Amino acid sequence: MSAVAPTETITGQVAGVTPGLKRRRAGVPRAAKHLRSNRTAYLMIAPMVILLSIFVVWPLIYAIYLSFFKISFYKGSEFVGLQYYMFVLQDPKFWNSLLIGIEFAAMVVPIGMVISLLLASFIKVLSKRLASFMKVTVYVPAVISTVVASVLFVFMYQDQGVVNWFLSLLNAGPVAWLNNPGTALPAIAVPAIWLGLGITTLIMLAGLLDIPNSYYESAELDGAGFFKRTFYITIPLLKNILLYLFVTGFTAAIQMLDLPLIMTNGGPVNATTTPNLFIFNSFRAATPYATSFSLTTALLLFVALGLISVLVFRLINSDKAVDG
């Protein structure tokens, strides 16, 4: 390289060679530059690829390998093929936990998104100072630990808690919010919505601020009210953001562990046993069966979540989303 480079001119011609050779030689530095760019790119992504390989890819492959064994830390593992996959798929508690996860996500994500959209729309029309205050206020729950929020809401739901106190003003209750199979899951969904509100609102606000005001001004001149502007301008132009929030929110909600673990431990009568809590509770038994079962359940949950995400993308048809 260094022997050739000095003979190059600025235009890439090489002195004293035939035109055909010139073209070939002229190609060499272009290819080298391309390779250099590639090398830089590979170097830049290498740390992430290495870390992902160590912490994601390898454990996943190893977990799949282990799922074919009945794992014992004392007697040596026994190869059982797909037996544990059958055990998990035949377990009604596994399917029930998936349904509970979906039900929980169906409560948390749409309600959270609607409230966030309303809040973001409200913050957008405020003065700069007020908007800053509101953004901080709305974001506060996002920095509160789920453990703290869980304990807080457990107190609020007690017989003598603030929620039942409100009911008593209406001569109703007290309701055993966390110990009634009908109310426990919605009662856990409330803190989940509250905790997720901050980040969802700020992302939506960022999306709203990206929509040109001229669209709204034109619509107003045509006599469109708030709801028409929301349905015909805001929502279509926020489609990519809404899709992102829906998919990430749905997968996070279906995997919820902390809130049901602390607030109800999956009860009453398994009414709040989300898939991750089901895995966690399976792993709490100190038997080789429990170890293999919870590992296989985790892998199947990984597949189920992937399928749900694909389904959501298919249903919402993201490739036709309008880009504002």
Partner 1 sequence: MHKRRNKAVAFAAAVVSTALVLTGCSAGGGTPTDGGTTNVTFWQQKFEDYQGVWFKKYVDEFNKSQDKVHVDYQVIPADTWTQKLQAAQAAGKQPDIATTSYGNIAAGVVNGQFSALDDYMPAESFSDIKDNVSSFVTIDGKHYAYPMLVEPSTVLYYNTDLVSAAGLDPNSPPTTWDELIDWSTKLTSGDVKGMTIASVAPDIAWSSWGLQYNACGHLPISDDWSKADATDPCYDKLLDLYKSLYQGGLIPQQPKVGYADGSPYGAGEVAMMAGGSWVIGQLKADYPDMYAKTQVAAFPSIDGDPTKPTATLGGWTLTLDSKSKNPQAAADFIQYLLAGDPAIMADFFKAAGYSKYTVRTSVDEALADDPDASADPFMQTISEKVVAYGKQEPGYPFDVALAFGTAVESAMKGTDTVEGSLTTADAAINDVITKQGLAGTAPQN
- For helices 184-209 and 92-124, what crossing angle results, to 10°? 40
Of residues 75, 128, 129, 314, which one binds partner 1 by CB under 8 A? 75
- Note whether 240 binds partner 1 by CB under 8 A: no
- Note whether 85 binds partner 1 by CB under 8 A: no
**Single-letter residue type at 171:** N
Of 108-116, 127-135, 239-247, 267-275, the segment contacting partner 1 by CB under 8 A is: 267-275
Sole residue written with tokens 């506060």: 140
H or E segment and range at residue 69: strand 69-70
Between β-strands 78-79 and 69-70, what pairing exists: parallel, antiparallel or unpaired? Answer: antiparallel
Sole residue written with tokens 């890819």: 57
Q: What is the x/- site pattern for partner 1, positions 210-229, by CB under 8 A?
A: --------------------
Cβ proximity of 254 and 108 under 8 Å: no
- For helices 184-209 and 128-139, what crossing angle results, to 10°? 150
**Single-letter residue type at 118:** L
Site for partner 1 in 100-129 (CB under 8 A): none
Distances (CA, A) of 296 to 70, 83, 96, 227, 280: 10, 10, 16, 48, 12
**Single-letter residue type at 312:** V
- Note whether 244 binds partner 1 by CB under 8 A: no
Of residues 102, 176, 211, 257, which one binds partner 1 by CB under 8 A? 176
Q: What is the rounded CA–CA span in Å between residue 302 and residue 314?
A: 18
- Note whether 77 binds partner 1 by CB under 8 A: no
Q: What is the rounded CA–CA span in Å between residue 312 and residue 249?
A: 12
Residue closer to partner 1, measured from CB, 73 or 227: 73
Cβ proximity of 104 and 253 under 8 Å: yes
Residue closer to partner 1, measured from CB, 79 or 227: 79
Of residues 94, 157, 250, 278, which one binds partner 1 by CB under 8 A? 157
For the chain, the residue count is 324
Beta bridge partners of 70: 78
Of 123-131, 227-235, 286-294, 311-319, the segment contacting partner 1 by CB under 8 A is: 286-294
By CB under 8 A, the count of residues binding partner 1 is 34
Q: Residue 259 Cβ, how far from partner 1 at the closest point, in Å?
A: 16
Of residues 179, 230, 240, 255, which one binds partner 1 by CB under 8 A? 179
- Note whether 288 binds partner 1 by CB under 8 A: yes
Locate 90 and state its tokens: 């035949």
Locate 96 and state its tokens: 């029930």
Of residues 110, 267, 305, 312, which one binds partner 1 by CB under 8 A? 267
Q: Residue 70 Cβ, how far from partner 1 at the closest point, in Å?
A: 10
Of 20-28, 38-46, 51-59, 243-251, the segment contacting partner 1 by CB under 8 A is: 51-59
Question: Which sign does the torsion angle of CA 74, 78, 84, 85 carry?
Answer: positive
Of 29-37, 130-138, 265-273, 311-319, the segment contacting partner 1 by CB under 8 A is: 265-273
Q: What is the rounded CA–CA span in Å between residue 96 and residue 256?
A: 15
Q: Residue 163 Cβ, how far from partner 1 at the closest point, in Å?
A: 11
- Note whether 147 binds partner 1 by CB under 8 A: no
Closest CA to 207 of 246, 232, 236: 236
Of 138-146, 200-208, 216-224, 260-268, the segment contacting partner 1 by CB under 8 A is: 260-268
- Note whether 268 binds partner 1 by CB under 8 A: yes
Give the residues lining the site for partner 1 (CB under 8 A): 51, 54-55, 72-75, 87, 91, 157-160, 174, 176-181, 265, 267-271, 283-289, 291
